[in-house]
Amino acid sequence: MTSEKVKIQVKFPGVYTLTFEDGKESLATKNLALGKTVYGEKLIKHEDVEYRLWDPYRSKLAAAILKGLSIMPIKPNSIILYLGAGSGTTVSHVSDIIDKNGKAYCVEFAPRVMRELINNVCVYRSNLIPIFADARFPDKYPVLIPKTDVIYCDVAQPDQTKILLDNAEHYLKENGFIMLALKARSIDVTKDPSEIFKKEIEVLKLKCFKIIQSIRLEPYEKDHAFILGFKKVI
């Protein structure tokens, strides 16, 4: 951890832009697990607050923010259902943002990855609840999940949009938000990514979701789009 002269600006509640003396900027979150890193990120101490730099090349959510995300529904005190938690890179920053009074239910199916998530991340962050389960079967989760403010989906599967919708049917509040990291090559390697994104967005609209933004994530992620929307009340 280093102490540096930096200028701190609030990007969204719980998300910050750090500007260093050399003019370089970085996204950051306040570290909920003081002194702990997750993926080798740099820790910055400023006025007795510890920040974790947030790498957009390692996190699609950070990439979306830098590419112009207009609304950040993940905020302090939020209840989140996170599908495809992986080893915890983005989840750990979500943990920082929602703070001690928020909760993130973290679904992951790969045993080795789940062990890393639990042993390296969740053990230091009481607001993360790991769920070892297949996101395709939301009715079989082994824990009780309340209605959530946001469902975040980063599952690189051909049916990733359906996975999000099935979970939203069970767990998303009325007017709750969806955040979907779409990987075109996981859906169809033969089609143009723009065509795939358009088709998946139409599927969401048919299920009564209002799409706020669709953001291409280049240069941080190739052939990815980040979809932000909310569930309309009929």
The helix/strand/coil state of 111 is helix
Which domain CATH number covers 24? 3.30.200.20
Closest CA to 230 of 71, 113, 108: 71
| Residue 65 shares a structural domain with residue 137 | yes
pLDDT at 123: 97
| Residue 191 shares a structural domain with residue 124 | yes
pLDDT at 234: 63
| Residue 50 shares a structural domain with residue 67 | no
Per the structure, the count of domains in the chain is: 2
User: Rounded to whole angstroms, how far apart are CA atoms 60 and 219?
Assistant: 11
Note the pLDDT tens digit of each residue in 199-209: 999 999 999 89
Domain end position, chosen among 31, 54, 77: 54
Which domain CATH number covers 218? 3.40.50.150
| Residue 78 shares a structural domain with residue 149 | yes
What does pLDDT average to in each consecutive run of 10 residues of the chain (234 residues)? 80 97 95 97 95 98 98 98 97 98 97 96 98 96 95 92 96 95 84 88 93 96 94 74
The helix/strand/coil state of 58 is coil
User: Rounded to whole angstroms, how far apart are CA atoms 229 and 160?
Assistant: 15
The DSSP H or E segment spanning 148 is: strand 148-153
pLDDT at 4: 67
| Residue 93 shares a structural domain with residue 128 | yes
Domain encompassing residue 24: 2-54
Token pair listed for 55: 């790498």
pLDDT at 157: 86
Whether the link from the prior residue into 111 is cis, omega within 30° of 0, is no
| Residue 79 shares a structural domain with residue 163 | yes
pLDDT at 71: 96
| Residue 19 shares a structural domain with residue 65 | no
User: Rounded to whole angstroms, how far apart are CA atoms 78 and 74?
Assistant: 6
pLDDT at 190: 78
> Amino acid identity of 182?
L
Domain end position, chosen among 54, 72, 98: 54
pLDDT at 193: 83
> Residue 164 phi/psi, 5° resolution?
-60, -45
**DSSP annotation of 69:** -
User: Rounded to whole angstroms, how far apart are CA atoms 22 and 27?
Assistant: 15
| Residue 18 shares a structural domain with residue 99 | no
Count of CA atoms in the C-beta half-sphere (13 A) of 63: 25
The helix/strand/coil state of 185 is helix
User: Rounded to whole angstroms, how far apart are CA atoms 168 and 144?
Assistant: 15
| Residue 32 shares a structural domain with residue 112 | no
